[in-house]
Structure 1
Amino acid sequence: MQWNTNELENWEELRNDVDTALLPLYLYRSGAQVPDHALRMNYLLNVAAGIERKLRGRVLLFPMMYQFSNEQMTPRIPEGFAHTVILHFSGDTMRKTEENANALMLAVGDQELDSALRFEVTVDVLYREVIRHWQRNSEH
């Protein structure tokens, strides 16, 4: 389920099935050109949407959050979800806190962003990581 009015119209009836929040986070660093940021942000959003499509019915894809900084990010977690998946680029440092300690942090590589094959492989690998996370947490 994506964060738009069409899909969220049925939120109340689907709420019990959607137990995972998918949060794409982007660290907007100084020094890069605006077109580079746009390419990277678009890629991260597309990867998140690809993961959501493969796991539809159990995942709510939140809008991208971003931070203007050269430092690490401290992701904030939405309430009411059994699982949280944070999607970010591999060069970005995420600060673990008590609030987000159980979140699954998935790093996306930032090379070859124009490669369709690399995109498909990335989505496939990451959605499988989400499934493994679910399986590990259901065993506890």
Structure 2
Amino acid sequence: MKWSSGDINIYQQSKEFVDTVIIPLQPLSFGPSMRTSAGMADYSLLIAEETERQLHGRLFLMPSFTYLKLESEEALMSRLHSWVSELKEEGFRHIFFLTSDADWKKAEQELEETLLWMPVIPMETMDSSYKEEIVKEQVKQLFQIILHKWQES
């Protein structure tokens, strides 16, 4: 399910079955790193949407948590912890952060929940069928992590 009015209606009717959420973490920067930042956002969103499509009914895809690359880690973590608190109050037991920004690997210990880091693969010049194939392969790797978390609980 996605953050859309149609899916929200479905979620509200079956929320006891939807215990997992993915939050794409998307950097925003300008200047020379603007294109890299946009590429990370594009790629992580493709992965998140395919994951949601394949796990529809059990997983909720949140809107992206967008942040400025120059934002302080303290402010960033504070905002992210607010999201996590709200989601836990709503009943989500499994919260995953999905990103292609390697900076999150450094802060992973401070996160309360699971970080899914996928190195960005430049796709802007790829054939669409090859792009789909790569995304599906990446999602298979995420499934293993998600399924493991489900089995732990």
> So what's the TM-score if we normalise by structure 1?
0.81
Closer, same or farther: CA 69–36 of 1 in aligned 2, 3 Å: closer
Give the aligned residue type for 1:121.
E
- 2:146, 2:94 → 1: CA distance? 9
TM-superposed CA distance for 1:127, in Å, is 2.0
TM-superposed CA distance for 1:10, in Å, is 2.4
Show structure 2 runs of 5+ residues with no match. Answer: none
- Percent identity of paired positions between Structure 1 and Structure 2: 22
- Match status 1:106 vs 2:107: no
- 2:116, 2:29 → 1: CA distance? 19
TM-superposed CA distance for 1:90, in Å, is 4.9
* Count of equivalent residues: 133
- 1:87, 1:120 → 2: CA distance? 15
> So what's the TM-score if we normalise by structure 2?
0.75
Kindly report which structure 2 residues correspond to 1:19-98, keeping only aligned pairs within 5 A, or say none: 19-30=19-30, 31-33=32-34, 35-70=35-70, 72=73, 73-74=76-77, 75-76=80-81, 77=84, 78-79=87-88, 80-93=91-104, 94-97=107-110
Q: By percentage of residues, which structure has more helix?
A: 2
Q: Report the counterpart of residue 135 of structure 1 in structure 2.
A: 151
- 1:130, 1:27 → 2: CA distance? 23
Contact conserved, 2:21 with 2:61, CA < 8 A, in 1?
A: yes
How well do the aligned residues superpose, as a CA RMSD in angstroms? Answer: 2.1
TM-superposed CA distance for 1:29, in Å, is 4.0
Give the aligned residue type for 1:62.
M
Show structure 1 runs of 5+ residues with no match. Answer: none
